[in-house]
Each structure stands twice: as structure tokens, then as C-alpha cells.
Chains A and B, each alone.
Chain A
Amino acid sequence: MIVELGHFTLLLALLVAGLQMVLPLVGAQRGWTAWMAVGGPAAIAQCLLLTFSFCALTYAFVTSDFSVRLVALNSHTLKPMLYKVTGVWGNHEGSMLLWCLIIALFGALVALFGGNLPDKLKARVLAVQASIGVAFLSFLIFTSNPFLRLVSPPMNGQDLNPLLQDPGLAFHPPFLYVGYVGLSMSFSFAVAALIEGRVDAAWGRWVRPWTLLAWLNLTIGIALGSWWAYYELGWGGFWFWDPVENASFMPWLISAALLHSAIVVEKREALKSWTILLAILAFGFSLIGAFIVRSGVLTSVHAFANDPERGVYLLAITGVFMGGALTLYAVRAAEMQAKGVFSTVSRESALVMNNVLLAVSTFVVFIGTIWPLVAEMAFDRKVSVGPPFFDAAFTPFMVLLALILPIGSILPWKRAKLGKSLRPLWLALLAAFAIFALIWTVQTGRTLLAPIGALLGSWLVVGAVADIWVRTGRGGVADKIGRAWRLPRADWGRVVAHMGFGVTIFGIAALLAWEIEDVRTANIGDSFEVGEYQVTLLDVREVQGPNYLSTMAEIQLTKGGTTAILTPESRFYPVAGMPTTEAAIDNGVFRDLYAVIGDEQADGSWAVRTFIKPFANWIWAGAIIMSLGGLLSLTDRRFRVAPGAAKARATVAAE
């Protein structure tokens, strides 16, 4: 019964979204306030209906109602409760329902907290957001309905996939979806502004928090996915340039560009039409990502043929929204006159450079991702584009970005004197080069990768400190600390996020350059050296887990007086018939010790793989610091208060 109700509210939500799409838009064109006022309540109603629908599906999963086809295919009574719940979005249909719910949730948030928006803009934003909702709800209902029943329900579910029963993987999709879908909000604002034909500083201020929210969730989602790959795949890789990964990385890159250009709109009323274009493209890359992941077109050309309906539908959604928005853009962009003028050396110019680098690197990733498809269809060449290409084509942009970042963030707006503005950075540069030289001499004869990574990382971190130092003005240290405390949170957000970027760059470079790997066969009791560690295989035994059989090794690593015991496992899950590798990791600030146990050899010894991974955790720590920066910026006072003031400014700007 509850499932049927959930199905019913899903259909109702589509109806409500349809109304929310049409009425406020027509109202805003004609100036009918009553019609415009429909948008808010409709957005909240749509969100409530979908929330109920989502809860109904969760209920079916929790109670293991195998008469629901989706539950029968994707759950099992033996699954722990946590993974029964996360299993709701661990499949195409359920995750699409979550996706629709988040679209509606963002709409409802605008309805609830958008009190400072002019009525017309708000009506149009809600209408555009609802049109996205209509597209995805109809996709869900007509091609991937999660509530379909089975005529003869099975005794138990089919899926007890051990790989899904993992916190890293269970929680990474919701973060990513909030990110992907959050960009629909920036898109709605962009299209609404185009319909209105007006973009001003206030618009920049409204669109920024939504982009920030999307970006910081994407950051967390990507970091979780990468961290999961690191500990689960059994050899500690953290990024593979896989199409599925690129699908989430492209929106991240372009929304980072959007974040920065929206600042220029807000502070200086320049780069307006470019920012609108970025907002459209950012959501476009989200749609392309959804298409890539769900149609399977890039995984293999044949997967597309297996499910042409979904792929074509998603491609159509992408085409309609991008085609429509870009046409509107072509017609209206010329009306966006820039007000703020700036010179070649200024913070605006630095942000333009940031945008060039981020946007171009997004397109490079995009071209690399779709090239195998293009080459096969257009040139009849079957090629692979793998990590070596992306490393070579993408990395230079990040290096350049890291080089200009501290300079850009310290330059004043409008017009700058390079020599004078850069004075506080000399110390940062000196520190960065000192660290570079130190590492270079200590690690004689190895690649330059690590020293360069350290140079960039410390340049970013010390540069961020210099940024705060300058921001606090003149005076004694005590004065400065007092003023630093009172700086806007947005300033702190910027500084923290930029530091996080530096930490991640250093982590990646250090791990790639200094990783030590050892593969060998060892008998129980054997001892060998890996790097500076004495490694001993103490024991290998069979262990019976709750729903799996495990071969568990006990490996001791000693360095100086400290000892770490690692217990890597290779498990077999009988229900799923699937073996998994459970690497054992001893996490540390300066290094991870990483051990994997392989098969028993013919002579009774065991295959053992040991890694020393220096600074591995810095990669994800940096990502978390970046998202914290985003969060700090999001709580800035100017986003929270003074709706009245913003409204007044908007009406002035409108004249």
C-alpha cells in the first residue's frame, strides 16, 4: 500500500512540476502576480510529494518487500540495515528518484529562502527549475519506474553485492548528486536572467551560494569515490581518468570556474555574459555526465544498444536544455553590458586567467573522454585514451593555475602595480623555493616530480597565509590577529580552499614520486625489507565472517622502535559468488602502510604485496579542506542577511 502511495505521489509530483513550469513563467511575462505566486507553493509541494515517494521506496527496501521489482533485484534479507537503506540509491532507478528529489529540494529551498529575490526573477527561476524536474521525472516514470511490482515475488532478493556494502561507496553518490543537481540551480538562474535580459551585481550574489553548495558537494563526492578506490581496489590507485570519473570531474572544474567568475560579476559587474555561459555549460556537463554514466555509451558502444531508450532520452534532455539555453544566450548575451572596467594587471584579469585555465582543462578532459567514440564513428579508428594522455594534457593547466593563484588572490581590484602588490609574496616564494631545494638535495637522483609538487604546494599554502596577512592591513601582530578574526568568512573561505588545493597537489606529487612497492612470495615467518621497513609475514589463516569466508594474513612492519600489524584479507562472498580483496592500511600523517595478500603458491608460500605510500592522506585531506573553505564562504554574512538591502540594490540596478 505504501509503495502504491509512493508511486502515486511520484505521478502527482510530475503534475505539480508541470504546473510550476508553466504558470509562474506566463505570470512573469504578463505581470500576473497571482500566477507568479504559484511557483513557491508548487515547489514546496513537489518536494514534499517526492520526499514521500522516496520514503516509500526506502520503506520497501527496509522491509525487504520483494514484490517490488527493484527491491528484488537490488536487495537481500541478509544485508545489514545500513546497506538496505543505501541500497535505495545503489541502482539506476532509485538513484534517479534521488536525483529528482534533489532537483525539487533545490527548488523548494529557493521558494523558502529566496525572500530577497525580486518576484519576477524568483518566478522564472522556479519555472526553469521545474522544467528540469519535468524532464527527469518523466524520464524516471516512463523509462525507469522504481515502483513496478512483480507478479510472482521471489523468496529472497538477488543482490548482496559485497562491494556496495562499504561506507565510502554508499555515501559518495548522494554528495555527487547534490553537486550535479546543484548546478541546475545556477542554470535556472542563468536562464531566468536571460529571459529577463538583466544581469547585475545582485544576480552574481544570488547565484554564488548555489554554485558554492554544488561545488563543495562535488568535492566531497569525488574525494569519497577516490578514497574508496584507494582502499578497495587493492593497489592504492586513487584516480584513473575513467569516463565515469571524468563525468564528475568536468562539472567540478567548470563550476570552480563559475565560482570565480561570479565573484567578478558580484564585485565589479564585469564578465556577465561569460558567467552566464559558464552557468549553462556547468549544468550541461552535469547532464553529459549523467548521460555518460547511465547510457554506458563510453564504457562500451554495445551497452548503448542494450538500453537505447534511456540513452536516447537522456541525450534528448541534454540536447533540449543545452540547445534551448544556448540559443537564448545567443539572442540575449549582447544585452549584458559590462559596467566595471579593469586594467590588464588586476584581480579581474587574474580571475579571467583562472577561467581560461579551468575552462580549457574541462574541455581537454571532455575531448579526451569522448575521443574514442568520435574516432570510431567518424574516422573508423578504434583507439584508447588512457591515463598517460590525461596526465600529459591536463597537468600543465593545474601547474599554471597553482603558479598564478597566490598572485591573483593578492592583487587589488581594478588596477594594480605588479611590483608593489607582490611584495608580501616574496617571502612565500622564498619559502617555496627553500622547500624545493631542500627536498631536491635530500632525495638525490630521483624524479623532479616531488620537489615541484612541494614547491607548488608550499607556494599555495604560504601564499594563502600572505593573502590573509595583507587583508588584515597595517599594524602590530595583535591588531592583525584581531582584524583577521573579524574578516568576512568569504575571505577565510577563499584562503582555506586555496590551502586545500595546495595540500592536494603536494599529496599527489609526493605519493607518485616516493611510493615504494614490493611484490614477492613469502613463507610464514619470512622477513624482508621494504624501504626503511622490516616486513614479516607472521601468519595466514582462514576466518569465517558473518557472510563471507576470509583468508587473513598477519603482517608486521617495523621501523626503528615502532611496529604496525596489518591484517589484509582476501574474502569470498558465497551468495554473490564474488571474491574481494581487503587491503590493510595503517594510516599515518606522513605515510600509509598498505598490504595486500594474494594467492597461495604451489610451494605453500603466499603472494604478498606491500606498499609504502608517503603523504597519501594529504590528497583527500586537501579535498576536505577545500570543501571546508567552500562551507566557510557559504556561511558568509552577505549571503545570510540584509535581504532588504539586496532588494533595494536590485531595483536600483534595474533602472
Chain B
Amino acid sequence: MIRALILWLALASAAFAVEPDEILDDPVLEERARELSKGIRCLVCRNESIDESNAELARDLRILVRERLVEGDSDDEVIDFLVSRYGEYVLLTPRATGANLVLWLAAPVLFLGGLAIALGYVRSLKETPSPETLSESEKARLAELIDD
């Protein structure tokens, strides 16, 4: 675990992430850039977004995202542009298409499945006849005895 962390940190080195000179003057655009950056992977890092990473490439991507936003791209257009350039790998949120549907549907399907099994189990416990109640034949026999 430690070795893995070191590797991670060695790549991140002295993390400073977003540098002051990258920040856009327009606070609304900057906010959008920050939000977008959180979902873009720093391709040379270990599982880090470009918003957190100090790597050179992350800086280039942050600047790229900001350039596209200044040119008037929508958030989706920026993301499409990055995907066309670097592939799906650049997205920290995998797209819910094709095989990835398995990933996205796992949580709801497992939960509903688990819930159904659990409910079935609890119900089945309730239906087990408890020894206090008499079966039909026993009832009949009891009635016979009482009548006699």
C-alpha cells in the first residue's frame, strides 16, 4: 500500500494543483472550469483529476479546458472534444453506454435483487406454520372430540 502511495505522490510531487496564473477572470467561467476539471482524469497520474494534480499534463489540460470555455463551448462540447482527443479514458465518470451499462446498473439491480431476496426470506419465515395453530385435519378431529 505504501509503495503504491509513494508512486502516486512521486507523480503528483509537491501538489499545488490549480496555479494562480491559470485562473480565468470571469468567475462564472472559472467555476464551470473547476467543475469540469474534477471529472477529467490526469492521464499520467494515478486516479487523480486534473483539478487535483500537479503534473505538467494536468496543467496543460486545465488550460485547454479554460481555452475552450472562453471560446464559448458548452460543458458537453468541452467533454466531447477531450474524449475525441484522448479517448474515453480521460473521463472519471464512465459514460453509461454499451458495456458500461453493467457498471451503472450494478447498484440499482443488486439493491433491488437483494431487497427481493431479503423480503422473500423474511416472508417465508412468517409463513412457516407455528406449532400453536392446528392443521385442518387436527381441527376436524378436535371438533369431533368436542361434539362427542
Interface, chain A (partner B; CB < 8 A):
90-92, 95, 161, 163-164, 169, 173, 176, 233-235, 237, 240-244, 247-248, 270, 293, 296, 299, 338, 341-344, 348-349, 352-353, 355-357, 359-360, 363-364, 367-368, 371, 375, 378-379, 381-389, 392-394, 396-397, 519-521, 570, 578-581, 596, 598-599, 601, 607, 609
Given A384-B91, A389-B93, CB of A519 within 8 Å of CB of B1: no
The answer to whether A367 and B106 touch across the interface, beta carbons within 8 angstroms, is: yes
Cα of A242 to Cα of B45 in the assembled complex, Å: 12
The answer to whether B2 and A164 touch across the interface, beta carbons within 8 angstroms, is: yes
In the complex, besides A364-B106, A371-B103, 4 extra interface pairs with C-beta distance below 8 angstroms are: A352-B121, A363-B106, A382-B87, A389-B103
Which chain A residues border B55 with CB–CB below 8 Å? none
Q: B93 → chain A, closest Cβ, in Å?
A: 4
Q: A392 → chain B, closest Cβ, in Å?
A: 8
Which chain A residues border B19 with CB–CB below 8 Å? 519, 598, 607
Q: A602 → chain B, closest Cβ, in Å?
A: 9
Q: What mask results when residues 72 to 100 of chain B are scored 1 for a CB within 8 Å of chain A, else 0?
A: 00000000000000011111111000111
CB closest chain-B residue, reference A233: B15
Cα of A237 to Cα of B9 in the assembled complex, Å: 13
Residues 29 to 59 of chain B near chain A (Cβ within 8 Å): 38-39, 41, 46-49, 52
Given A242-B47, A356-B114, A601-B21, CB of A379 within 8 Å of CB of B98: yes
The answer to whether A368 and B15 touch across the interface, beta carbons within 8 angstroms, is: no
Q: Name 26 interchain pairs, CB-CB below 8 A, sorted by A.
A: A90-B2, A95-B1, A169-B2, A169-B5, A237-B52, A293-B1, A341-B125, A341-B128, A342-B122, A343-B122, A356-B114, A357-B111, A360-B114, A364-B107, A371-B100, A375-B94, A375-B103, A378-B99, A383-B88, A384-B88, A388-B39, A389-B93, A519-B23, A521-B20, A578-B10, A598-B16
The answer to whether A381 and B118 touch across the interface, beta carbons within 8 angstroms, is: no
Q: What mask results when residues 102 to 129 of chain B are scored 1 for a CB within 8 Å of chain A, else 0?
A: 1110110011001100100111011010
Interface, chain B (partner A; CB < 8 A):
1-10, 12-21, 23, 38-39, 41, 46-49, 52, 87-94, 98-100, 102-104, 106-107, 110-111, 114-115, 118, 121-123, 125-126, 128, 130
Which chain B residues border A352 with CB–CB below 8 Å? 118, 121-122
Cα of A241 to Cα of B93 in the assembled complex, Å: 12
The answer to whether A385 and B94 touch across the interface, beta carbons within 8 angstroms, is: yes
The answer to whether B130 and A341 touch across the interface, beta carbons within 8 angstroms, is: yes
Q: B3 → chain A, closest Cβ, in Å?
A: 7
Which chain B residues border A378 with CB–CB below 8 Å? 99
Cross-chain contact of B89 among A92, A384, A387 (Cβ < 8 A): A384
Given A367-B103, A386-B47, A581-B15, CB of A607 within 8 Å of CB of B20: yes
Given A349-B122, A356-B111, A521-B21, CB of A382 within 8 Å of CB of B6: no
Cα of A353 to Cα of B117 in the assembled complex, Å: 11
Given A341-B130, A386-B93, A387-B92, CB of A379 within 8 Å of CB of B110: no
Which chain B residues border A344 with CB–CB below 8 Å? 122-123, 126
Most buried by A among B21, B47, B130: B47
The answer to whether B6 and A164 touch across the interface, beta carbons within 8 angstroms, is: yes
The answer to whether B15 and A389 touch across the interface, beta carbons within 8 angstroms, is: no
The answer to whether A386 and B41 touch across the interface, beta carbons within 8 angstroms, is: yes
Cα of A241 to Cα of B134 in the assembled complex, Å: 56
Which chain A residues border B16 with CB–CB below 8 Å? 234, 581, 596, 598-599, 607, 609
